[in-house]
Amino acid sequence: MKNTQIKLVSRPSGIPTADNFNIETAEIPKAKDGEVIIKHEYISLDPAMRGWMNDSKSYIAPVQIGEVMRAGAVGKIIESKLAGFEVGDYVMGWTGVQQYGTSGAENLFKVDPNLMPLQRYLGTMGMPGFTAYFGLLEVGQAKEGETVLVSGAAGAVGSVVGQIAKIKGCKVVGIAGGPEKCNYLTEELGFDAAIDYKSGENLSKAIKAACDGGVDVYFDNVGGEMLDVVLGRIKRHARIVICGAISQYNSRDIYGPSNYLSLLVNRARMEGFVVFDYAKDYGKAAMEMAQWSMAGKLKSKEHIVEGIENFHSALLRLFSGDKMGKLVLKA
Amino acid sequence: MKNTQIKLVSRPSGIPTADNFNIETAEIPKAKDGEVIIKHEYISLDPAMRGWMNDSKSYIAPVQIGEVMRAGAVGKIIESKLAGFEVGDYVMGWTGVQQYGTSGAENLFKVDPNLMPLQRYLGTMGMPGFTAYFGLLEVGQAKEGETVLVSGAAGAVGSVVGQIAKIKGCKVVGIAGGPEKCNYLTEELGFDAAIDYKSGENLSKAIKAACDGGVDVYFDNVGGEMLDVVLGRIKRHARIVICGAISQYNSRDIYGPSNYLSLLVNRARMEGFVVFDYAKDYGKAAMEMAQWSMAGKLKSKEHIVEGIENFHSALLRLFSGDKMGKLVLKA
């Protein structure tokens, strides 16, 4: 029994290539005092990982060359020298793209596989879900009767944004790529409308038609020209929540939104956030989201790729959009 | 005695040319019921005027072709059929680039030439001053001990922003063009530092040096690349107040800030506003600003151009920066 690990061995420029990563085999680690060893079941693949591969100042230190690639993961504790955590407990931690991870108490959370499928704690009941919850409600201040537009709407974050907005009494429009995703939004998740940005239809006109009167809250996961188009369709006092910019993460030159003066005309704001700042309120959010899930108001889908050795090709699905819901790797 | 008027006769593309305007002569108007006739003494020249010349949807309707160019003005009432306003009263109104204006009660304010020079009611004690006051305090939420950076710092709005920020206990850095303006900021207005963006010095490094630790509030009058550079120097939870973008008003293609993802990394926001929304609080702001002026804490300078026929060449000084403080036209 060995530990297969994915290490970052060079920094990508543009789309990550297979040779930016090494697949290596190590011994299964041993716990020191205050640590647990986790046998991973699922590893999270998130757009933010692309940023962590860059050697630039950001909200978190870059992954260093030669390190195991950073990732959230869920699994079962197989050894514990950490008070409060027992062998057999299921946990979510930041234990990286490998089969066995080591964690201290920090950012280690117990999860219950009887309540939800384990992989869901990397999606709706984990960071992406919390990102949606705090981004929409705290940063976006979405209110009943308002129109919420979300990009990347069929993704791990966007799908939760839209459903929470519906729960809060908003009109919800999602932007996604392709008819299958758009059907999923309106038929399964209860979105009021979905816009297929790949359809060739004029996006500005489609937003105008779907969001009669314009957008109160835009939850942006995509950035680029799409953000610019939406800026032309915001209402007075609109809030644009900058959650991410997946269209730009592999670009050398970031697309700047030339319609930003729409913020002035419309007395609107554009605001960024990082979900980690809300850590003290994760419990409250988790409880509320669990209740919504039980009540059938908050649905989830995970796209599971088998085999840690498929990390690189799985990762690329984040950027191509070739997945539905939360993308995870089965360790 | 005739009324010389400046009319918009074609829409500029890029920098306004002399032939976008006609100088015409009309009869002095007569007041109808509910109106006053004002003999103008000073007419305000503001960057926002450039936007009003465009035929595009904005926070206010465009000036129509053939209309007298919209402007604020101060002067003396020579005829009144409006209750509460007497012949001889001095007023500020939106009565346009002409020697005699007609106004109803809306947006007509009495002013006192014994308290301040009359032209100041178009600057520090008028719209630019209110813009600075509400933009800095309400939108920017500037607080004691924070670092405030302002562009267009020697202008009508910027100079007031910086002085109010000092009054509120902030560290204040101004960006202006040329040593004369920079000296004015630090020697006369009490700014902590001034950055001459025309000096050839690297702007990002200059901001880093002057704002040790970065910027909490950026009050932006300029836009363009300068906004992008500042985005690279903001602190966590920074507020960027979008007041204007004078560097872009004559451009066909607006420069979009490609560093906008700094808002995400720094949990920061960028917000626009329009001063008219604060009209119900002008009185409160005017009282406070008058007190600061009396106490010598809020200084003002006006750049007066003589002769309404010089409207076009005077207007161009807004974009070339060839003026100091508030630009007004003596009617």
Q: Which two structure tokens, joined as six digits, stand for A330? A: 């089965």
User: CA–CA separation, A209 vs A121, rounded Å?
Assistant: 36
Our CA-based measurement puts residue B277 at a distance from the nearest CA of chain A, in whole angstroms, of 9
Confidence at residue B212, expressed as pLDDT on a 0 to 100 scale: 83
Positive/negative CA dihedral, B75, B76, B78, B83: positive
- Residues in chain A with CB shorter than 8 Å from the CB of B264 are 59, 242-245, 272-274
Residue B155 vs residues B111, B124, B283, B324: alpha-carbon distances, Å: 22, 10, 23, 6
Q: Do B265 and A48 contact (CB within 8 A), yes or no?
A: no
Residue A267, min C-alpha distance to chain B (Å): 4
Listed in sequence order, the residues at least 6 apart from A296 whose beta carbon sits closer than 8 Å to its beta carbon are none
Cβ contacts of A254 on chain B, cutoff 8 Å: 258-261
DSSP characters over A247-296: TTTT-SSPPP-TTTTHHHHTT-EEEE--GGGGGGGHHHHHHHHHHHHHTT
B37, B110, B43: which is closest to B73 by C-alpha? Answer: B43
Distance from CA of A22 to the nearest CA of B (A): 29
Say if residue B56's pLDDT is above 90.
no
- Going by C-alpha positions, the residue among B150, B113, B112, B111 that lies closest to residue B132 is B150
The mean pLDDT of B195-204, rounded to a whole number, is 96
Residue A182: predicted pLDDT: 98
Instruction: Give the minimum alpha-carbon distance from A265 to chain B in angstroms, rounded to a whole number.
Output: 5
Tens-digit pLDDT profile for residues B227-258: 999 999 999 999 999 999 999 999 989 999 99
- CA dihedral sign of residues A151, A156, A157, A163: positive
List CB contacts (< 8 A) between B263 and chain A.
242, 270-272
Chain A contact present for B255, CB below 8 A: yes
- How large a percentage of chain B has pLDDT more than 70? 100
**Model confidence over B302-312: pLDDT tens digits?**
999 999 999 99
Determine, for residues B270 and A256 on separate chains, whether the beta-carbon distance falls below 8 Å: no
Rounded Cα distance between A171 and A150, Å, is 11
Instruction: Name every chain A residue with its beta carbon within 8 A of the beta carbon of B223.
Output: 261
Any chain B CB within 8 A of the CB of A261? Answer: yes
Question: Residue A155: which of A130, A124, A186 has the closest Cα?
Answer: A124
Computed over every residue of chain B, the mean pLDDT equals: 96
Which pLDDT score is estimated for A233? 98
Residue of A nearest to B238 (CA): A271
Which of A157, A262, A270, A275 has the most B C-beta neighbours within 10 Å, making it the best mutation to test the interface with B? Answer: A270
Cα–Cα distance between B219 and B203 in angstroms, integer?
16
3-state helix, strand, coil in chain A (%, to 5): 30, 25, 45
Q: Are B270 and A260 in contact (CB under 8 A)?
A: yes
Q: Show the domains of chain A with their CATH numbers.
A: 3-123+301-330 (3.90.180.10), 127-276 (3.40.50.720)
pLDDT band (50, 70, 90) for residue A18: very high
pLDDT, position B252: 86
Q: Is the pLDDT of residue A1 over 90?
A: no
Distance from the Cα of A64 to chain B's closest Cα (Å) equals: 19
Residue A256: exposed, middle, or buried by beta-carbon count in 10 A (0-12, 13-18, 19+)?
Answer: buried
User: Are the CB atoms for A79 and A264 separated by under 8 Å?
Assistant: no
Identify whether the C-beta of residue B297 lies closer than 8 Å to the C-beta of residue B172: no
B interface mutation test: which of A217, A226, A249, A269 has the most B CBs within 10 A? Answer: A269
A237–B contact, CB cutoff 8 A: no
Residue-wise pLDDT tens digits, A75-87: 999 999 999 999 9
Strand ranges, E, within A85-227? 90-93, 100-103, 109-110, 147-151, 171-176, 193-196, 215-220
> Chain B: residue nearest A253 by CA?
B258
